Chains A and B, each alone.
Chain A
Amino acid sequence: MSNNEPVIELKGVTKLYKQGKLEVMALRGLDLVIQPGEFTAICGPSGSGKSTALNLIGALDDATSGTVKLEGQDLGKLNRRGRSNLRRDRIGFVFQAYNLMPVLTAYENAESVLALQGASAKERKETVMALLAEVGLEGMEHRRPDELSGGQQQRVAIARAIASRPAVVLADEPTANVDSETAEKLLDIMEELNREHGITFVFSTHDPRVMKRARRVVQLVDGRVAADDVKEGSA
């Protein structure tokens, strides 16, 4: 990927859901380009299509029409294994409900993507211990999710998402299940990771705190971009 190539590119993307006889058009020709290093929030009311957009970008779902590209690669042309490998190697996920494996410790959860990549134990240990320290979980490596607070669990999820140095981290309502103070701390962590390591973050959110921190806010309404604000001072 050249430096000028966008990390994410959506062109004329539509997504039609069928629920029995009912058809719901979640995206209606979405065009969106996200450059490397962006800290972008996709926001909008419920049903505006922001989670659907994130699922398509994350190769978790197929577009009905249009193209979705990640680092120039057309996701519609990838088979199941190709998508799986792409998610493992190039995309990090942070979910609203943390979605950690309950039987794994914080360390094991954080290293899971690296383990799937087949990284050596030494490499995993070095990377994960540094990341857990970076997200403020030093000394909590052996705790299981049920021994951690919501904020701490989300930090583990962030560590898991960035452990493999992905092209983009997709965070779906990452602050929805935590209190304000924790939300601010989580945003601090993600902002710092974005700034320090240049990791691209794309949020799906309707949390004003996230929108306030984001350097670009894309407003979706009825499956289309209604507004796209790049804040001053953001590169």
Chain B
Amino acid sequence: MNIFKMAWRNVLRNRRRSLVTIGAMAFALFVEVMYSGLVPGYTQAMVEDITNLEIGDVQIHDTEYRDAPSIYAVIEDPDAALKTLDEMGYPAAPRLLSGGLAASGEFSAGAAFRGVDLERDGKVTLVGTKIADGAWLDASDPKGVVVGKFLARTLQVKPGSELLVLGQGTDGSMAHELYSVRGVLGSVAEATDRATIYMVDTSFRDLMVMPTGAHQIIIKLPGNVLLEDAAPAIAAAMPDLEVKTWKQLMPIIAQMLDSVSGIIFILYFIIYIAVGILILNAMLMAVFERIKEFGVLKAIGAGPTRVFGLIAIEASIQTLIAIVVGMSAAAPGMWWMANKGVDFGAMGGMNMMGVSMRKIWYGIYEPATVAGPLIMLVVIVAMAVLYPAVKAAWISPVQAMRHR
């Protein structure tokens, strides 16, 4: 009496029930694996969008700027700060920030002006690649500006349109200049889309009468540098300035992204609890309808370990088949998610907490992505099978054989 052969035949005995059990396990595994790769893929893309497009990994301001943004709260010597950052090996770009009014034809709106150092900015942010219509800023066209998506709609402008900009210069004078729209951005971030006008830094300085200083320095860390290591080092190098990571600048999103693993675990839990109940039910039925057989097995001398082992092997066989089926289904799915992604169509470009969502989500699939759901499945099956197996293993033979 080969216990493995017997277990296998028992699995085949009620094929429909075994198929439902295996199917549920395989489906749960498939969903978990896909989800486990898709959510980190999405969050990583979100972090990349946050850090690559506007915020950078780390930002430096004058200590008063963020509490009370003012054109006068400047980093006095941005060149020195940039030199230090260059020496540390961290690409950085200065930004000039101000606000005012923008008007075109009969339309006007409040606007945020961004003066950009084109040479440095291209190494730090990818905002220049997000042009939906027209072209990005060009040093040879100092009167050309780029407008955020929704602002362009409000002002009814497109590439080639004239745009009047009004503000207050640092000398207290009325700052005003007529620009030409070079480009309109696609979705970047809520605030950028609604109000931002990008211009070449020299144009900003001319407009706002601001010959020196910068309001912000954006730093993009190399891939091998940890944010947690770099930020304190930068802060130590510039004790008179405020150094903040993107997580400190966008704490709600940072918290949300940090909680993703918790969200995945909760979903694991919900799906696997449902599957666990199904397995428990199937195993209870499988055990109790055969309780007399277990009684006979025990009567002829099989010990509790053998009976427990038989049930455990039956559950293991079903789990193993479910893993093969689930992973066979997940493998092409993972490839597709990692390489082609999921097109969220109209949802793409929507804003979530001020950050623009990508149209296509890609999954990230690593050994850990698969290992987590696999381990969880095995644990849930083990938990579900424990009660019926122990019950069958320890029941007295007489009681089992009398069972109705």
Assign chain B's interface to a size class.
Answer: 20 to 34
Interface members, chain A 53-99 (any B CB < 8 Å): 55, 58, 60-61, 80-81, 84-85, 87-89, 93, 95, 99
Interface members, chain B 339-396 (any A CB < 8 Å): 396
Stretch at the interface among A35-43, A101-109, A195-203, A208-216: A101-109
Closest Cβ–Cβ distance, residue B285 to chain A (whole Å): 16
Q: Is the CB of B396 within 8 A of A103?
A: no
Does A190 reach chain B (CB closer than 8 Å)? Answer: no
Report Cα–Cα, A101/B398, bound state, in Å. 17
Interface members, chain A 86-134 (any B CB < 8 Å): 87-89, 93, 95, 99, 101-104, 108, 111-113, 115-117
A58 / chain B contacts, CB cutoff of 8 Å: 299
B6 / chain A contacts, CB cutoff of 8 Å: 101, 103-104
A87 / chain B contacts, CB cutoff of 8 Å: 299-301
B285-301 interface mask toward A, CB cutoff 8 Å, 1 = contact, 0 = none?
A: 00000001100111111
Report how many residues on chain A are interfacial, defined by Cβ distance under 8 Å.
26
Closest Cβ–Cβ distance, residue A229 to chain B (whole Å): 29
What's the A-B contact tally at a CB cutoff of 8 Å? 60
Closest Cβ–Cβ distance, residue A129 to chain B (whole Å): 16
Does A50 reach chain B (CB closer than 8 Å)? Answer: no
A104 / chain B contacts, CB cutoff of 8 Å: 1, 6, 9
Does B52 reach chain A (CB closer than 8 Å)? Answer: no
Report Cα–Cα, A95/B10, bound state, in Å. 22
Report Cα–Cα, A103/B13, bound state, in Å. 8
- Of B6, B13, B292, chain A has the most CB atoms within 10 Å of the CB of B6
Cross-interface CB contact of A84 among B2, B9, B292, B298, cutoff 8 Å: B298
Q: Is the CB of B296 within 8 A of A95?
A: yes
Cross-interface CB contact of A99 among B1, B296, B306, B398, cutoff 8 Å: B296
B299 / chain A contacts, CB cutoff of 8 Å: 58, 60, 87, 93
Report Cα–Cα, A204/B5, bound state, in Å. 34
Q: Is the CB of A116 within 8 A of B302?
A: yes
Q: Is the CB of A103 within 8 A of B10?
A: yes
B1-41 interface mask toward A, CB cutoff 8 Å, 1 = contact, 0 = none?
A: 11000100110010000000000000000000000000000
B297 / chain A contacts, CB cutoff of 8 Å: 101
14 examples of A-B residue contacts, CB within 8 angstroms: A60-B396, A60-B398, A80-B304, A84-B302, A88-B301, A93-B296, A93-B299, A101-B6, A102-B13, A103-B6, A104-B1, A104-B6, A111-B1, A113-B300
A interface vs B, CB < 8 Å? 55, 58, 60-61, 80-81, 84-85, 87-89, 93, 95, 99, 101-104, 108, 111-113, 115-117, 160
